[in-house]
Amino acid sequence: MSADHFLDRVHSLAAIEALDPAGYADLLEPPEQFDDAFWAAALERIDAFATRVMKIRLEHADDLPAPTRKVFAQTIVAYANNLPLLAERAQHVARGEAAERVVEAARATLALREAIRTPVLERIRSAASAAAPEADRRARDRKLDDKQRKQWSAMRRELEAVAEDPARVMAPLEQRLATHEELIDEPEPEREPTLAELIELD
């Protein structure tokens, strides 16, 4: 089963409840070289899945108008760190039990999203950490010109930033690299030859 199919097959409450959140990360097959686009797409699929899950959870809430259910489903990810705001807005368009159902559905949906995302973020962190030393080596390579070394210096810094905050991959790479582009990693000082090496050269 592919990672995409793992999420795409979920179309009912029963399937949501049966889902193993760790399964998605386990099925991802990243390229050997660190690829921002691959990891960004993986996180975007989780957000799209959260939208579908919220829609499923609300589809039987007959006391909520269909357009209202649609709006809450489509904007669920925006409330990941602000459930009180969602609760407040739910109260504006629904009352009592209907508003409570929106909040309960959102809480369950966002908890599932976080459970699926967490192992993916850890894989991004590990992949970025593993890629940073090679970027560092190239940034300090005396055989490369300053322009190339600046590019690799920016990449090394960005990989280290991604290792600290893996969700950064969802922002455009060029935009992130631009915050580091004026910096350059200097090569290690050239080692002075030993007396034995100098004698050998003679």
Mean pLDDT of 8-18: 93
**Interacting residues of 123 by C-beta distance below 8 A, sequence separation 6+:** 25, 28, 30, 39
- Quick one: which of 20, 91, 11 has its CA closest to 57? 11
**What was the pLDDT predicted at 49?**
97
- Both tokens assigned to 161: 């930033």
* Max Cα distance, the chain (Å): 93
| Sign of the C-alpha dihedral computed for residues 23, 25, 30 and 32 taken in this order | negative
Question: How many Å apart are CA 171 and CA 174, to the nearest integer?
Answer: 9
- Both tokens assigned to 31: 């390229």
**What was the pLDDT predicted at 195?**
52
Mean pLDDT of 177-201: 62
Mean pLDDT of 81-89: 90
- Both tokens assigned to 77: 């990810």
In the chain, where are the structural domains located?
Answer: 3-131
Q: For 33-69, how does the pLDDT look when each residue is reduced to its tens digit (9 = 90+)? A: 999 999 999 999 999 999 999 999 998 776 788 888 8
Question: How many percent of the chain have pLDDT more than 90?
Answer: 59
pTM of the predicted structure, to 2 decimals:
0.84
